Amino acid sequence: MNRWKHFFKTYFLTELRAGLWLTWRHLFKRKVTVQFPEERTPQSPRFRGLHALRRYPNGEERCIACKLCEAVCPAAAITIEAGPRESDGTRRTTKYEIDMFKCIYCGFCEESCPVDSIVETRIFDYHFEKRGDNILTKEQLLAIGDRYEVMIAEDKLEDAPYR
Amino acid sequence: MNIEVLVFYFFAAITIIAAIGVISVKNSVQAVLCLVLTFFSAAALWLLLEAEFLAITLILVYVGAVMVLFLFVVMMLDVDFAALRQGFVKHLPIGLLLGFGLFGAIYWVIRFEIFGSEKVPEPAKHEQGYSNVEELGRLLYGEYFYPFEIAGVILLVAIIAAISLTFRGRRERKGQSVREQHRVLKEERLKIVSMKSEPIKQGDDA
Amino acid sequence: MSFMQLLIEGFWIVGKILLILVPLILAVAYTTFAERKLIGYMQMRLGPNRVGPKGWLQPIADVIKLLMKEVVVPSGANKTLFLLAPILFIAPSFAAWAVVPFDAELVLADTNVGLLYLLAMTSIAVYGVIIAGWASNSRYALIGSLRSASQIVSYEIAMGFALVAVLMAGGSMNLGAIVEAQNGSALHWFWIPLFPILVIYWISGVAETNRAPFDVPEGESEIVAGFHVEYAGMAFALFFLAEYANMILISILTALFFFGGWLNPFQGIPYLEPATDWIPGTVWLLLKAAWFLFMMIWLRATFPRYRYDQIMRLGWKVFIPITVVWLIVLTFWIKFEWGWWFDGRGIAAIGGVS
């Protein structure tokens, strides 16, 4: 009996037809595609995207060149050179670069920062057009921070109770 | 000079050039391809003789099957081409001698009087509905039925002989039996156990 | 025949060839679009919808992109053969269209050996694959070409036997005559007496064109893209074009051999036949072919890839025995004129020919 059942199942392609029927039904189902630039999926405030360097409200850059982020970075994407600032002699970075090709967006730099200077924003749709553009300099990072400060601050505030 | 003659000379030239290519080209894969081209142009020549069935069969059997296996073998072999052609100049005289000898023998048998195009009567052109396939079928399955069937049986014997020559007894290999795999039922392999979910003990969140 | 006449005739033939090939290339372009859309829909996605209204210009954009890209010849590759391979692959797949009839009289070459010619053309396409793999100087390409070649050669046998059945049923190797032999009604078509052959021919066709679920030659997860890994730009486009042209060819041939080609499916039905009489046969043929093309895409969206030994087993141990058995059944079917398919072809009609 079982043999016959198996025979029929094999030669009448029962299981294959069941599969075809499934895809046929899905052909007419509602589509779930998110039309990206017009529609976006909701994001968490903890989303880890493009990096930014923040400033204090008075305009002073937060980074104190402690190099913790450079040390913790698993992909060795961050390069920092430090030195006293010419105007007041405080310890600052003279060079702060992130190679975005190396970065794996793990967020360790953000976690390690004692002054909440380096952060990862929610921005994920960016691109580079030339070779070399992938290395973000300190000026670029600060500019990103200035531009999205409101969003960054809100996200940090929302996440603060859980830290 | 009509178009057919032109086409004939075109394909005849390709046949000869490709045939020379088979023995003179450096790369053996290219030599095989030259042989394929030779078969092709020979098939085109047969088409000119209104033997379309034979022409297509030549392509199907020789080009489509035999030469593919040839190509496989040649590709898989690691042939040192430079070493192969070392003796070319040394053996050339012998080759030429043999070639001319063979040509002479053929010439001796056929002779020039029978050879020219004016000696052989031009085959009669066939009318529109003529089917080469049908004629061939009538000949093979009518007039030459027994020779044809005997040839078939000989081929069958050859196939069986080839298999039995290469077959070296049952191998004790560990392989997957697709038949058995297909026959497996879900119930034989999968057991669904219904059990209660166990509550996590307090303080044991590792 | 004067030279002028010859020239005009030559141009007329070239014109007819273009009349087949240009729509074919356009059809290939839009088959890729249909494939992406349909598979998208079956996976509950939308598919390409950005270029042009509803994405309708997507294939054009793809073509432009492929034309602009550089054809890279890998180092250590045999350059002549590397560039020859795509041409060797596409030439037979285009040449096969010469014997395909689009309507009762609409055929480029009305030859008596159409069926054999088709088989020959599909069998030469292997050369393009083997040479592409060998000339690329790449392991993946070589493995892919070996897989592809052995698959094509194996399924060619099953396909050849299936075509023998069609030839027996049709009583001719001329494709037009095969379709005419199915004249009558939708029940006169060969899909009923040749049903197992239809299934086998169809599946072998899918396997021959290296389509999913038989696409181990280009199994992305193992060997990247098989025999055409190293090809880029236009050379890759030629492979792509040939593959899709073969798909369309197989679909049209299935319609011709088993589903009455250009014949009206409503033939012999009292009211529907006069009502649909004005539709040209080509439309019917293309509609039938479109359904099989859809089936190919549908199969790809549904089934996971076969394992390699399973493919070989299916071809050699399942398809070939079934076709041989059905050939014997068919012999009796024809000789005893069961049903209404083979009227006037049995023992009673031919009697003592030999």
B196 touches chain A (CB under 8 A): no
Contacts of B148 in chain C (CB under 8 A): none
CA distances from C20 to C90, C193, C255, C287 (A): 15, 32, 18, 17
> Of C238, C220, C319, which Cα lies nearest the Cα of C67?
C238
Chain B nearest CA to A10, separation (Å):
9
Q: Which two tokens stand for residue A152?
A: 């960054």
Tokens representing B196 are 């209660």
Q: Closest Cα partner for C166 from C141, C138, C189, C133?
A: C189
Q: How distant, in Å, are the alpha carbons of B68, C266, C268, C276 from that of C271?
A: 54, 9, 9, 9
pLDDT tens digits, chain C, 354 residues: what are they? 577 887 888 888 888 888 888 888 889 989 999 999 999 998 888 888 888 888 888 888 988 888 888 888 888 777 888 888 888 889 988 888 888 888 877 777 777 778 888 888 888 888 888 888 888 888 888 888 888 888 888 888 888 888 888 888 887 788 888 888 887 777 778 888 888 889 899 989 888 888 878 887 777 777 777 788 888 888 888 888 888 999 999 999 999 888 888 888 777 777 777 777 787 888 888 888 999 999 989 988 888 888 888 888 888 888 899 899 988 988 888 877 777 777 766 555 554 443
Alpha-carbon distance of A151 to B141, in angstroms, equals 88
Cross-chain Cβ contact B176/C127 below 8 Å? no
CA-CA distance, B177 to A55, in Å (whole number)?
Answer: 68
CA distance B44 to chain C (A): 13
Q: Could you tell me if C203 and C154 are in contact, meaning their C-beta atoms sit under 8 angstroms apart?
A: no
Q: Which of C43, C44, C303 sits opposite A19 (nearest CB)?
A: C303
Element spanning A70, H or E: helix A68-72
pLDDT value of residue B151: 94
Is B63 a domain residue? yes
B119 and B131 belong to one structural domain = no
Which residues of A fall within a CB distance of 8 Å from B185? 2
Same domain, residue pair B120 and B99:
yes
Average pLDDT value for residue range A83-112: 89
CA distance A74 to chain B (A): 26
**DSSP state at residue B124:** P
Percentage of chain B lying above the pLDDT 70 cut: 82
CATH number, domain containing residue B20: 1.20.120.1200
Tell me, yes or no, whether B160 lies in a domain: yes
Radius of gyration over every alpha carbon of chain A, rounded to an integer in angstroms: 26
Q: How far apart are CA A163 and CA A111, in angstroms?
A: 10
A2 contacts on B by Cβ (under 8 Å): 185
Q: How far apart are CA C291 and CA C260, in angstroms?
A: 14
Q: Is pLDDT larger for residue B157 or for residue B138?
A: B157
Q: B189 in a domain, yes or no? A: no
State the complex-level ipTM.
0.76
Handedness of CA B155, B160, B162, B165 (dihedral sign): negative
Q: Do B139 and B119 fall into the same domain?
A: no
* Chain B residue nearest residue A4, CA to CA: B183
Name the nearest CA neighbour of C296 among C202, C216, C217: C202
C313 three-class SS: helix
| Backbone phi, psi, residue A82, to 5° | -115, 160
In a domain, B9, yes or no: yes
Task: List the domain range (segments joined by +) for residue B138.
Answer: 126-164
- What are the CA-CA distances from residue C127 to residues B6, B59, C89, C177, C336 (Å)? 29, 13, 7, 31, 43
What's the pLDDT score for residue B4? 78
Instruction: Give yes or no: residues B11 and B48 share one domain.
Output: yes
| A74–C contact, CB cutoff 8 A | no
Rg (CA), chain B: 31
Q: How far is B116 from chain C (nearest CA, A)?
A: 26
* Residue from the list A23, A29, A33 with its beta carbon closest to the beta carbon of C302: A23
Q: Tell me whether residue B176 is in a domain.
A: no
Residue of C nearest to A13 (CA): C199
- The residue among C123, C138, C146, C306 with the most chain B CBs within 10 A of its CB, best to mutate, is C123
Give the pLDDT of residue B7: 85
Write the residue in B30, B64, B72 that is nearest to C120 by C-beta: B64
> Which residues in chain C are closer than 8 Å to B56, comparing Cβ atoms?
113, 116-117, 120
Nearest CA distance, B95 vs chain C (angstrom): 30
Query: Which of C38, C42, C50, C197 is the mutation pick for testing A, counting most A CBs within 10 A?
Result: C42
| Claim to verify: residue B5 and residue B76 sit in the same structural domain | yes
Q: Could you tell me the pLDDT band of residue B188, with boundaries at 50, 70 and 90?
A: confident
Same domain, B51 and B12: yes
Q: What is the tens place of the pLDDT at every residue in B49-59?
A: 877 888 888 88
pLDDT band at residue A98 under the 50/70/90 scheme: very high
Interface test with B, best of A6, A8, A14, A16 (most B CBs within 10 A): A6
In a domain, B2, yes or no: yes
pLDDT at residue B160 is higher than 90: yes
Interface test with C, best of B59, B66, B149 (most C CBs within 10 A): B59
Peptide bond into B123 cis (omega under 30): no
Q: Does B60 touch chain C (CB under 8 A)?
A: yes
pLDDT at B159: 92
Check if C309 contacts B (Cβ < 8 Å). yes
- Kindly identify which residue of chain A lies nearest to residue B185, measuring between CA atoms: A6
What is residue B38's predicted lDDT score, i.e. its pLDDT?
Answer: 92
- Tokens 């099989």 — which residue? C292
What is the tens place of the pLDDT at every residue in B101-112? 998 888 887 766
Does the CA dihedral C91-C92-C97-C99 come out positive or negative?
Answer: positive
Q: Nearest-CA residue of chain A relative to C47?
A: A33
For residue C354, the chain B residues in CB contact (below 8 A) are: 141-142, 145
- Residues B74 and B107 placed together within one structural domain of the fold: no
Cα–Cα distances (Å) from C298 to C101, C195, C221, C315, in that order, read: 26, 20, 21, 21
Domain end marker among B97, B125, B153: B125
- B131 and B67 within one domain: no
Instruction: Give me the helices (H) in B25-66, please.
Output: 28-48, 52-58
Contact C81 B30 (CB under 8 A): yes
Calculate how close chain B gets to C339, using CA atoms only, in Å. Answer: 26
Tell me the C-alpha to C-alpha distance, in Å, between residue B147 and each of B66, B140, B159, B161, C282: 24, 9, 18, 21, 45
A104 pLDDT band (50/70/90 cuts)?
Answer: very high
DSSP C228: G
Structure tokens at A126: 């960016």
Tokens for C280?
């040209």
- With CA atoms as reference, the chain C residue closest to A10 would be C318
What's the pLDDT tens digit per position in C259-299? 888 888 777 777 777 777 787 888 888 888 999 999 989 98
B110 with B77, same domain: the answer is: no
CB C129 within 8 A of CB C152: yes
* Whether A31 and C42 lie within 8 Å, measured CB to CB: no
Q: CA of A72 to nearest chain B CA: how many angstroms apart?
A: 26
Question: What pTM was estimated for this model as a whole?
Answer: 0.81
Torsions phi, psi of C266, nearest 5?
-95, 15
- Identify all chain C residues contacting A24, using CB atoms and an 8 Å cutoff: 42, 298
Domain count along chain B: 3
Chains in contact with C, where contact requires at least 3 CB pairs less than 8 Å apart: A, B
Asked whether residue B78 falls in the same domain as residue B6, the answer is: yes
Q: How far is CA C273 from the centre of its chain?
A: 29
Which of C78, C130, C173 is closest, CB to CB, to B71?
C130
Contact yes or no for A23 and C301 at CB 8 A? yes
Whole-angstrom distance, CA of residue C124 vs CA of residue C135: 17
Q: Is C153 on the interface with B (CB under 8 A)?
A: yes
Alpha carbon of residue A57 to chain centroid:
25
Q: Are C146 and C205 in contact (CB under 8 A)?
A: no
Each residue's pLDDT tens digit, C229-249? 888 888 888 888 888 999 999
Residue of higher predicted confidence among C227 and B205:
C227
| Minimum CA–CA partner of A27 in chain C | C42
pLDDT tens digits, C316-340: 888 899 899 988 988 888 877 777 7
- Concatenated DSSP letters for B142-203? IITHHHHHHHHHHHHHHHHHHHHHH--S--------HHHHHH--HHHH------PPPPPPTT
Q: Distance between CA atoms of C70 and C109, rounded to whole angstroms?
A: 37
Picking from C81, C117, C156, the nearest residue to B29 by CB comes out as C81
User: Do both B115 and B52 map to the same domain?
Assistant: no
Same domain, B70 and B13: yes
**Which segments of chain C does DSSP mark as H helices, in order?**
3-42, 58-68, 79-95, 114-135, 139-170, 175-180, 195-208, 220-223, 233-258, 272-275, 281-302, 308-313, 320-335, 347-350
- Residue B17 inside a domain? The answer is yes
Q: Is residue B62 part of a domain?
A: yes
CB of C298 within 8 Å of a chain A CB? The answer is yes
Nearest-neighbour CA in chain C from B142: distance (Å): 6
Residue C118 sits at the chain B interface (C-beta within 8 Å): no
Rounded to the nearest integer, the mean pLDDT of chain C is 83
Distance from CA of A48 to the nearest CA of C (A): 26
Is there a contact between C169 and C115 (Cβ–Cβ < 8 Å)? no
The answer to whether A4 and A14 have CB atoms below 8 angstroms apart is no
